[in-house]
């Protein structure tokens, strides 16, 4: 996706999100909470590094990598998604940031097409970059108001809004829900 198209896409999403915020809240599917739209600058993390991103990015803070702590991730615009999962009971509320917002804050390259997501247990899955721009895929930090911990799928969990789009209920997408996320390689 070209940078100009991506900018227009993000601008339209922002305007639509602002205009529809109250109706979306009424549906209780997605709730937007204002915050900074991007990382102010990629400084060194003050806390424990919970996510490393590398590959086709321009914003780095350690060699060719971006090391991020929870505060750096939470500096991005927050979003809440209520959805079911195949590994939890009932509908859960997930709070976090859009993965695409994280990518944009790190200066993702126009050549990027895939993401390799790796969990703490070294589970690795390849995810098409298009997933993050076609859907509101969340980098969740909280579930039902409780911060995710490694003992309960945390500290980060890639969450798809599976109840909003029937196609996201396909098993192919279930494999892309990486919990205990530790690393993203953009290629």
Can you give the CATH number for the domain in which 37 is found?
3.90.420.10
What is the pLDDT at residue 30?
53
What is the pLDDT at residue 11?
46
CB-side exposure of 113: number of CA atoms within 13 Å?
Answer: 1
CA dist., res. 46 & res. 49, Å (int) = 8
Mean pLDDT split into 10-residue runs, the chain, 187 residues: 49 42 42 46 93 98 96 96 95 98 96 98 98 97 98 96 92 95 99
What is the pLDDT at residue 41?
58
| Count of structural domains, the chain | 1
CA dist., res. 7 & res. 11, Å (int) = 6
**By the 8 A CB rule, do 112 and 101 touch?**
no
What is the pLDDT at residue 27?
41
Instruction: Choose among 47, 175, 38, 56: nearest CA to 115.
Output: 56
Domain hosting residue 51, numbered range: 3-186
What is the pLDDT at residue 20?
38
Exposed/middle/buried for 71, CB within 10 Å: 0-12, 13-18, 19+?
exposed
What is the pLDDT at residue 9?
45
């Amino acid at each position: 996706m070209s940078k100009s198209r991506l900018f227009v896409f993000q601008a339209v999403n922002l305007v639509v999100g602002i205009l529809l915020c109250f109706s979306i809240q009424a549906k209780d599917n997605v709730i937007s909470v204002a915050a900074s739209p991007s990382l102010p600058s990629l400084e060194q993390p003050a806390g424990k590094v919970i996510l490393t991103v590398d590959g086709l990015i321009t914003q780095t803070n350690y060699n060719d990598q971006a090391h991020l702590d929870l505060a750096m991730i939470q500096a991005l615009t927050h979003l809440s998604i209520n959805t079911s999962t195949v590994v939890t009971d009932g509908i859960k509320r997930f709070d976090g940031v859009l993965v695409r917002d994280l990518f944009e804050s790190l200066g993702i390259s126009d050549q990027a097409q895939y993401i390799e997501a790796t969990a703490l247990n070294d589970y690795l899955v390849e995810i098409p970059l298009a997933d993050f721009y076609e859907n509101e895929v969340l980098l969740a930090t909280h579930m039902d108001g409780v911060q995710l911990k490694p003992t309960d799928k945390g500290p980060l969990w890639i969450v798809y809004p599976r109840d909003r789009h029937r196609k996201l209920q396909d098993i192919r997408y279930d494999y892309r829900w990486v919990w205990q996320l530790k690393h993203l390689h953009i290629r």
